[in-house]
Structure 1
């Protein structure tokens, strides 16, 4: 086994050939009301 990784493919990589993508936030933060409800539930447990 070799201790060093094979970087030959990385050296051939061309960043300009990559396609652009649009990212969209899917994990939204909970509302203030939701946080308060969960806090009340935890306190009552």
Structure 2
């Protein structure tokens, strides 16, 4: 069975840190790769 990855954004919040998040409505793989390079803690993509 595959292991669940650690939710790093959730852990950061639990330690009192600030989480940066980007939200977008893009379904293009190229756009998703592009957004991933900016260092956000979390990206929410709504298709």
TM class, shorter-length: under 0.3
User: Using CA pairs below 8 Å that are at least 6 residues apart, which structure has the higher relative contact order?
Assistant: 2
Greater helix content:
1
Q: Which has the higher strand share?
A: 2
Q: Using structure 2 for the length normalisation, give the TM-score.
A: 0.25
Larger radius of gyration: 1
